[in-house]
Amino acid sequence: MADNAKLIVEGKTYEFPVLVGSEGEKAIDISNLRSETGYITLDNGYGNTGSCQSSITFIDGDKGILRYRGIPIEELSEKSFFTETAYLLMYGELPSEGKLKSFSERLNKSSLIHEDMLHFFTGYPKGAHPMAILTSVVASLSAFYPVKDTLDPEDEEIIIANLMSQIRTIAAFSYKKSIGEPVVYPSNKLKFVENFLNMMFASPVKDYSLDPDVVKALDMFFLLSADHEQNCSTSTVRMAGSSLANIYSVIGAGICALWGKLHGGANQEVIEMLEHLRDTRTSPTAFVDAIKNNKGKLMGFGHRVYKNFDPRAKIIKGLCHSLLKKPGLNDPTFEIALKLEEIALKDDYFLSRKLYPNVDFYSGLILKAAGFPINMFTVLFAIGRVPGWLAHWREMRHDKHTRISRPRQVYQGPTRRAYVPIQDRK
């Protein structure tokens, strides 16, 4: 605990405690601000507001640092894999060999969804967006897997395994529905990512050949997506979860929040930008010049938190290099992306504004090379982010200080006025 912060309001001095996080972050605890002063704070977009205390993920945007439970993302990307990292996020420590095996087996056993849920998929029109299907089917899981009002540790384990595993199955079934193909059921013989790829791209008349490099790239995409502190969708999960809503509807709310071009849909916009430059044969230099003249926007650059290079972008850029060099996977849009990055990182227009490539600038290229259509990009992001959402939900459930979220507002509408009968209205 540090010294108190003093606030002077209408000549009166108030003191509020200052909290210091384990990484030196400082926060003024204004929980009693309104009750003591009658004032509230206004912080559009919550850019300066801490909504909770958490021990899951640490970000230092100025230095380009990202750590899951204290472990740098660079180390995890080099030494770990998605399901192990998911366990770390969920339970705070890397699993022993036995615990990892048990966790993986539970994920495999949870991969099937109730057979009656297939009626959901047949009810959607062909071509329905996979995200539209995903959001509604995930929220409907509670009808097939009822959630108790009071959860014991075993109940939590079941829910975590169900959601982490079944979202892959729902995502793959959603895709199959969107292209008019029959679903491919999960297999206990395949690992997490391999299983998902097989459900996506195999069919009753065609086997899918698993490429180890594609498996590794998708696993890394999931790992890098697994958590990112109090972003829009995670904050949505915490807010919805604070009402004690069932976990399936809570995760459904997170998926809905993710489905926006300013959040989970950003990598789709990057691909569309790069393909536009390719199709119109616009040179990267000319495109950058147009942006500097306010005639365009460079998608995939800049970040709400990072004012330095996004550490995830460095990792995924390396994956792009290795994956897109493979025969048959070379993509001219990757060369355009590299040229745009080269120009922007030498231009004071971008440097002075601290606009560096973020993870979305390269992640779409990897997903495209792996064979995923653009409308599946946000779905894939959701699969990767589920462990983080669940970790925050679990942390919140066990935090004795958790209260139902209820932000205040500064009202700017009309003051009191009388009702006017319809015949007297102009």
Catalytic residue positions, numbered: 303, 360
Our measurement of the distance from residue 189's CA atom to the centroid of its chain's CA atoms, rounded to an integer in Å, reads: 28
130-144 and 377-397 helices, crossing angle to 10°: 40
Q: Which residue has the tokens 């030494």?
A: 79
- Distance CA(328)–CA(391), nearest Å, equals 38
Alpha carbons within 13 angstroms on the beta-carbon side of residue 24 total 1
Q: What are phi and psi of 66, to 5 degrees?
A: -140, 125
377-397 and 153-179 helices, crossing angle to 10°: 170
Q: Which two tokens stand for residue 385?
A: 């982010």
In sequence order, what are the residues at sequence separation of 6 or more whose Cβ sits closer than 8 angstroms to the Cβ of residue 152?
none
Q: Which two tokens stand for residue 213?
A: 């490099």
SS3 of 109-124: HCCCCCHHHHHHHHHC
DSSP string for 327-344:
TTT--HHHHHHHHHHHHH
Q: Are 109 and 354 in contact (CB under 8 A)?
A: no
Q: Are 223 and 77 in contact (CB under 8 A)?
A: yes
Q: Which two tokens stand for residue 266?
A: 């950003």
- Distance CA(374)–CA(365), nearest Å, equals 10
82-91 and 192-201 helices, crossing angle to 10°: 120
End-to-end CA distance of the chain: 61
The most distant pair of C-alpha atoms in the chain lies apart, rounded to whole Å, by: 78
Using alpha carbons, list the distances in angstroms from residue 45 to 40, 125, 144, 215, 243. 15, 36, 36, 37, 21
User: Any idea what DSSP says for residue 20?
Assistant: E
User: Any idea what DSSP says for residue 32?
Assistant: T
What 3-state DSSP class applies to 301? strand
